[in-house]
């Protein structure tokens, strides 16, 4: 079974750009938001990439549909 290489996916590269943009934007937020909203948004953006990497570890058989 062939596994997908997530680093070759276009959506992965777009996601990297989004994460970089989010982190730059969060640096402009007030310091009092650092451990609340900023932390949550940063974790959310990284989670997106984690989900792409996790999903890509599935084999082609995982994407097969009976319907």
pLDDT (tens place) for every residue of the chain, 67 residues total: 556 688 888 989 999 999 999 999 999 999 888 889 999 999 999 999 999 888 877 766 655 554 4
What is the value of pTM for the model shown?
0.73
Domain count, the chain: 1
- Residue 22 falls inside a structural domain: yes
Q: What pLDDT score was predicted for residue 57? A: 75
- Residue 1 falls inside a structural domain: no
- Residue 46 falls inside a structural domain: yes
- Residue 63 falls inside a structural domain: no
In terms of residue numbers, what domain contains 10?
6-57
CA distance 1 to 8: 18
Go through 14-45 and write b for each residue having 16 or more CB atoms within 10 A of its CB, e for each that does not: ebeeebeebeeebeeeeeeeeeeebeebeeeb
- Residue 66 falls inside a structural domain: no
């Amino acid at each position: 079974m062939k596994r997908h290489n997530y680093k070759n996916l276009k959506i992965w590269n777009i996601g990297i750009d989004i994460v970089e943009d989010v982190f730059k934007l969060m640096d402009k937020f007030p310091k009092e938001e650092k451990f609340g909203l900023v932390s949550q948004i940063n974790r959310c953006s990284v989670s997106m990439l984690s989900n792409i990497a996790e999903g890509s570890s599935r084999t082609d058989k995982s994407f097969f549909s009976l319907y």
